[in-house]
Structure formats: C-alpha cells, structure tokens
Structure 1
Amino acid sequence: MTFVASLGELERAVMGVLWGADEDLTARDVQDALSDRDLATTTVLTVLGRLERKQLVRRMRDGRAHHYRPVASREDHVAELMSDALDGASDRGAALARFLGSMSEEERANLRDLLD
C-alpha cells in the first residue's frame, strides 16, 4: 500500500497554483498568485519545502532562483488519494457502493463509459 501525503489548506492552495500553471514557478510567482492571502515569502518557501519533502513538488535551481513544479497532475494525486482511501476500508465493496451512491447520474454514466 502506498501512502499519499495529506495536504493542509495552504498546501492545497499552493498545489492548486502549481497545478494550474503552464510552466515552472518561483516562490515569488506562487506568492503573487496567492496575493489575496498576504503571505510572506518565507511562508511560501516553507510550504514549498514541505511539499518537496512530501514528494509532491520538484525543485530545480535556475541561477540564483529555484523553480517548482508538481511531480504529478492533480488527477493523479486525487486518484492516489482515492486508492489509499479504498485500501483503508474494511469492506471495499461497501465503500465503493457508497461512493457510487454519492455520484450524479452524469458521473455514473462517465464511469460506465470508462469501464466499457
């Protein structure tokens, strides 16, 4: 069983910025994207460091600056979270049934298409 790191609220916000970017970002880029939160650069760097230790972000040096990119897509991360949740269920069938019951008809139709 693999373990996917859970994310705090600020980590989710930073990952959202990185997942939404078309290129690698500096800490300053992330800070600017989250300007409504009035975060210090050191706070953004701390969060990026935690995400790197959780192996969710890759850091690359470019001159004096570091650039950051997500290791995997948002969809890959969510799929791993779902897999981990199912691995933790004592009855996978019951967990899947409850999950399917919470889906809209359109989502269930999409799932049927994927399974075919």
Structure 2
Amino acid sequence: MADEGDRRPAGELESSVLAALWAAGTPLSAAQVRTAIPQDLARTTVATLLGRLCEKGLVGRRPGGRGFVYFAVQDTHGLAARRMHRELDGGSDRSMVLARFVEGLAPHDEAELRRLLQEDHP
C-alpha cells in the first residue's frame, strides 16, 4: 500500500478509475476496478473513489454479484466537455470567459467551432 506521506491527488486516482472503466467496456465490481488500476490502493479507498464518482455523476452503479458493479456514464469527450462547462459556470462573467476561450483557439479549432454552431441541433 502507498505510504500516507506518498499521497496522490484525488484527480489522479479518479482518472485511473475512469480509465479502467472505459478500458473494460463492461461494468466492474470495486474489486475488479482495484486490480485494473496501476495504484496499489486499499479496497475501502477504491470504494470511496467509486462513491465520489457516482455522486459527481461520472460513474453509475447497479446491483451485480454480491454488491454493485460500476460503469462510466460519459466517455472521455463527455468528461472534457463537463469540465469545460464547470469552468464556464465558475466564472463571474460568462461572456468574458467564452471570449477568452475563443481567443485562445487555433484557427482550425475556431473553424470547427463555427461549423458546429451553424449545425441544426434537435
């Protein structure tokens, strides 16, 4: 197990758990997630991480086996979009945040954004 002084940021651990769920392509138990991630974590730590990811809406769970099985709710693209929304929502001036974002886009990304905005969306 990792030494208490060797703590990793929660984001790194959550990313490992999500990567394991994406790679599996099928729901996993907490024990299966534990063996699929590169970090050597206690069972309770993995269970806590999965619970937090469920609360954040990034992971779903359903009954399976003797407990729950967990699955990623969004793919990597959806997760990136969710982070972008969170940043936008956290700014005091949405218009300024969007303007700064667009200013920093590469020309091909700006063109793609314009194309997407012109599409009809249901």
Aligned residue among 45, 48, 57 for 1:46: 48
Paired positions, count: 109
Describe the superposition over 1:48-85 as per-residue Cα deviations: whole angstroms up to 9, x where unpaired: 12222333322222221421012333333332332232
Higher relative contact order (CA 8 A, sep 6+): 1
* Root-mean-square deviation (Å): 2.3
The answer to whether the aligner puts 1:10 opposite 2:26 as a matched pair is no
Q: Does 1:32 align with 2:38?
A: no
Paired amino acid for 1:70 = A
Structure 1 segment 75-114 matched on structure 2, within 5 A: 75-114=77-116
Provide structure 2 residue ranges, at least 5 long, that are not aligned to the other structure.
1-9
1:83 and 1:12 mapped to 2: Cα distance? 18
Residue deviations 1:4-63 (CA, integer Å, cap 9, x gap): xxx63212221232234311112232222213x222222212211222233332222222
Q: Distance in 2 between matches of 1:45 and 1:90?
A: 35
Provide the TM-score with structure 1 as the length reference: 0.73
Where do 5+ consecutive residues of structure 1 fail to align? 1-6
> Where do 4+ consecutive residues of structure 1 move more than 4 Å?
none
Deviation at 1:94, TM superposition (A): 2.0
Q: Normalized against structure 2, the TM-score is what?
A: 0.70
Larger Cα-atom Rg? 2
Percent sequence identity over aligned pairs: 44
2:63 aligns to what SS in structure 1? strand
One of 52, 55, 58 as aligned partner of 2:57 = 55
The offset of 1:107, in angstroms, is 1.9
